[in-house]
Chain A
Amino acid sequence: MVKGVINGIPVEVKAGTTILEAAKQVQINIPTLCKHPDLISSAACGLCVVKIKKLNRMLRACTTPLEEGMDVQTHDPEIVETRRTVLELILSNHPNDCLTCGRNNNCELQKLVADFGIREESFEKFVKEIPADDSTGTIVLEPQKCIKCGRCVEVCQDIQNVWALSFLERGVHTRISPAGDIKLAESPCVQCGQCSAHCPTGAIFEKDDTAKVWRAIQDPEKYCVVQIAPAVRVAIGEAFGFPLGTNLTRKLYALLRRLGFEAVFDTNFGADVTIMEEASEFVERFVHKKGTLPLITTCCPSWVDFMEKFHPDMIDHFSSCKSPHEIVGALAKTYFAKEKKIDPSKMVMVSIMPCTSKKYEITRTGEMFASGFQDVDIAITTRELARMIKQAGLDFSHLPEENPDHLLGDYTGAGVIFGATGGVMEAAIRTAYFLITEQKLPKVEFENVRGLKGVKETSVSVDGQEVRIAVAHGLANVEFVLDKIREAKRKKEPVPYHFVEVMACPGGCVGGGGQPYGVTDELRTARARGIYGDDEGSALRCSHENPYVQKLYNEFLGKPLGKKSHHLLHTAYKSRPIYKR
């Protein structure tokens, strides 16, 4: 522990704690711009400067550790003036497009400039012309608005190990770009959107598809249906002042009806179906030795894309099962349409997702058209939904609670935990256990696969056999797991795992690239708490117990992995070579 003084208040912290963190302990917020709690600071902006009294110097609080005996001043007129100058310098290279910017009212730079009351631009303006890049259809880059904080580059390179983004050139010419000024769509980008979730400004944001949704809702010819992903319900409240992690599932159902959707489904139902298929697949491979082990989950399209680009040798390991929202899409336009006598060609399926990559997934391969139509027509993110709610003038907080539409709406606790890292694994084990032993699990919770550790390795005993498990989130963490599998294969040793879950985003979908801004581990944990709370509160906690899932198989699909399931609920993968990272 080291002791110091901040603004005259004594403070004691663990050695190595930055002045920024130490100040928080004594209720002082030092303003920051380039620093993000998930990331090592690039110390690029200089906004967080503080005075160290004896040294008579200004240092950056985000990177300077508090040292024994240090006497720090965080705020005085001179420091505030310095910070104002830093902001004014940033503005001299920034277009003033706030009113038409994707981050208007939600921008870290805008907020700081407002807080510091900057009323005029005192430096000569130089804003380099750099065209926007919307080549991916999911993520839009507007490098003109970039303040060169380095967060996106660090996320993309270090957390995701994709290396799609980098800084090119230097000085006023510095810009974010894929290697050598190619389009993002030609780069290895897997469209996870983590860059957009970490960018403090409007330089990277999700492609806005809300206009398409409004148009579909208004079209009298169309029958518009909607589904919400597990992670959306515990995050959307942040945009409306609810406490962190509040589960708003049933208010959301009411809200979506009022927005004009004719039927409201839940992706969690699709998750229950995914589990029926995926657990059956696991049993095939594990018990009946048909197929490659470990089985690797494929609910995350960014992970699928990452694997297809960089690890195509792993394709055999992949579950062929589609992700939950694609399953709901395919079933809506076949099963639901048939039961309710609706013309599927008139149906528009909208998915509300925590994820930018789902925008890509909906046309990923031919199998995404299994119903004979595009199974999911539009995917929008949580952030886009928040804007729609505001545009519609709905008083979210006071809406009543409603239920989803049957057939594709009711879910079990296993379906909802898909939204957090480890959840797919936990849900699958609950059902696989039943399929193998035909018995009820004594305890459905598997604490070892929960939480934010990058790679979680554990094992569970099923029918006297050990099932070895790995759960990874944040794509850089996957490499460790894959290397271990490859190594064992090379040495012809027993596989290190039987079942592997991967989610591209840190924390899983609760930390998705399309979720409300400001993600930190604290927030990921709060959102996950909301999800696990929903599971605990559910009467049914295993997918195979869902009466609507049973009805679906009895009346429509037949058996898991059967012919019809295969046609509607499964997909295939292929190598998509791209330049090496």
Chain B
Amino acid sequence: MDAAQLEKDVSEIAGDWKNKEGNLIMILHRIQSKYGYVPREVSLEISKHLDIPLARIYEVITFYNYFKLEPPGKCTISVCMGTACYLKGAPTLLNELERVLGITEGQTTKDGMFRVEVVRCLGCCGLAPVLTVDGKIYQGVKKNEIGEIISKYAAEENGGNGGHKEKP
């Protein structure tokens, strides 16, 4: 990220909120709207700019699920880990996703294509195990269907092989 641009962004956004109550949360909110997540460089800049310890900023960022520390990824895959899904094999699905994409939960693939998240119960336990891709629900998913789902989205998004890990 361009350091000068970053400094400018932060000072603009922070400037608006500098003397207001709850400013840190609002600044982080604006940052996330702009970048899609809160990059570490930005947190460091906010810390300098507002004289808030970095540790405090991360306490706030990680306290709210809303804030993201990783770039969002074009497709977000959410795996339900509610009790029903868990029992019906959600951990296996998650493992498979992590294996295929070469990332772990909470991360985004290098090309910014896929992000994998774990969510608490999605409220459709009858369909377990469930995962969603950009909000679209896939029910009763089996391990061997994961590759197929990913390829489909990768192809749709850019006609390439998307977030697939290059085979050595």
Contacts and interface: CB of A to CB of B under 8 A. Distances in A.
A580 interface: yes
A163 B55 contact: yes
A579 B58 contact: no
A166 B47 contact: no
Contacts of A180: 40, 43, 54, 58, 61, 69
Contacts of B44: 579-580
- With most chain A CB atoms within 10 A of its CB, the pick from B40, B59, B61 is B59
A490 interface: no
Interface centre among A169, A170, A180, A581, by most chain B C-beta atoms within 10 angstroms, is A180
A105 B58 CA distance: 35
A168 B63 CA distance: 7
Contacts of A163: 53-56
Nearest to A170: B63
A580 B62 contact: no
B57 interface: yes
Nearest to B54: A179
Contacts of B57: 179
Interface string A551-581: 0000000000000000000000000000111
B152 interface: no
A179 B58 contact: yes
B8 interface: no
Contact of A166 (B48, B55, B69): B55
B63 A165 contact: no
A155 to B, nearest CB: 13
A318 interface: no
Interface string A97-126: 000000000000000000000000000000
Nearest to A156: B55
A372 B104 CA distance: 48
A157 B52 CA distance: 12
B58 A580 contact: no
Contacts of A579: 44, 47, 54
A179 B55 contact: yes
Nearest to B49: A580
A189 to B, nearest CB: 11
A166 B59 contact: yes
Nearest to B56: A166
B100 to A, nearest CB: 22
A346 to B, nearest CB: 46
A232 to B, nearest CB: 32
A160 B71 CA distance: 34
B48 A580 contact: yes
Contacts of A165: 55
B63 A166 contact: no
Contacts of A48: none
Given A168-B62, A169-B62, A180-B40, A157 B48 contact: no
A178 interface: yes
B54 A581 contact: yes
Nearest to A173: B62
A168 B58 contact: yes
Interface residues of B, number: 16
Interface of A is mostly: loop
Nearest to B47: A580
A164 B55 CA distance: 7
A433 interface: no
Contacts of A167: 59
Nearest to B48: A580
Contacts of A168: 58-59, 62
Interface in B23-67: 40, 43-44, 47-48, 53-59, 61-63
Contacts of B63: 169-170
A166 B52 CA distance: 13
A145 B115 CA distance: 30
B48 A178 contact: no
Nearest to B58: A179
A178 B62 contact: no
A179 B69 CA distance: 12
A107 to B, nearest CB: 26
Contacts of A580: 44, 47-48, 53-54
B60 to A, nearest CB: 10
A169 B40 CA distance: 16
Contacts of B62: 168-170
A17 B62 CA distance: 35
Interface string B129-146: 000000000000000000
Interface string A140-165: 00000000000000000100000111
A167 B47 CA distance: 17
Given A170-B63, A180-B69, A581 B55 contact: yes
B97 to A, nearest CB: 18
Nearest to A178: B55
Given A180-B40, A180-B43, A157 B55 contact: yes
Interface string B2-37: 000000000000000000000000000000000000
A178 B55 CA distance: 7
A163 B61 CA distance: 16
B102 to A, nearest CB: 19
Contacts of A178: 55
A36 B7 CA distance: 41
Contacts of A169: 62-63
A251 to B, nearest CB: 43
A165 B54 CA distance: 10
A195 to B, nearest CB: 13
A179 B62 CA distance: 10
Interface of B: 40, 43-44, 47-48, 53-59, 61-63, 69
19 contacts: A163-B54, A163-B55, A163-B56, A166-B56, A166-B59, A168-B58, A168-B59, A169-B62, A170-B62, A170-B63, A178-B55, A179-B43, A179-B58, A180-B43, A180-B69, A579-B47, A580-B44, A580-B53, A581-B55
Given A166-B58, A166-B59, 16 more contacts: A157-B55, A163-B56, A165-B55, A168-B58, A170-B63, A178-B55, A179-B53, A179-B55, A179-B57, A180-B58, A579-B47, A579-B54, A580-B47, A581-B47, A581-B53, A581-B54
